[in-house]
Amino acid sequence: MMTPRLLVVLFGLAIGFSTVAIGKEKKLTLKDVIYTPDHLASHLSTKTLVQSDPRSPNQREELMAAFQKGGLDKKTALFQFPEAGQPAVAKTRVPPRYPFQLRRAGVVGEVDSLILVGADGKVLSIYCYKYAKPQFAIAAAAALAKWSYTPAKIGGVTVPVILQVPIVFTLHDD
């Protein structure tokens, strides 16, 4: 289940609106949620756990660079998820829909995103910090919003974590 804000924004995108009203809150645009780190920043506390893949030695540096690019390092202190903890594991992965015009034109690309997985295993926020085309970022975010996770745990207590998720758009099924 998506968070209501993200669901409303993605639903608004699907029917062609660029902004949507959420109760009495400020109007969010797709840019607020996907292209800038502001929405993600609003969910971060002063300390944030980052879960990186131990098989990818450069991922920690990439995560730090993404946080610095978005100014998120000024909002929160990053802490590596402890080895003794149970990392968040994807339960449901919905593949992205390849944007029709880009597929027809033979365009391939990748989207690198930071997602905040809540203590309940739901994706709370998505920040696409690197993408080949904006259409790929939209498709990736729409898919990531439908993903769910087994929550991360430390000492038996579920905790929110930031994950880096790459989505690759290729013309061939590999």
Domains of the chain: 30-169 (3.30.2420.10)
pLDDT digits (tens, 9 = 90+) for 72-82: 888 888 888 89
Mean of the pLDDT values across residues 121-144? 92
Question: Can you give the pLDDT at residue 60?
Answer: 76
pLDDT band for position 165 (cuts 50, 70, 90): very high
Of residues 145, 151, 162, the one with CA closest to residue 1: 145
Axis crossing angle, helix 134-144 with helix 4-14, rounded to the nearest 10:
130
Distances (CA, A) of 99 to 8, 16, 84, 108, 138: 20, 15, 40, 10, 9
85-118 pLDDT per residue, tens? 999 999 999 999 999 999 999 999 999 999 999 9
pLDDT at 161: 94
Is pLDDT above 60 for 17? Answer: no
Q: Give the distance, in angstroms, between the CA of residue 72 and the centroid of all CA atoms in the same chain.
A: 14
pLDDT recorded at residue 86:
94
Q: What backbone phi and psi angles, to 5 degrees, belong to 157?
A: -105, 130
pTM, entire model: 0.78
Per-residue pLDDT, 168: 96
Give the DSSP H or E segment for 166.
strand 161-169
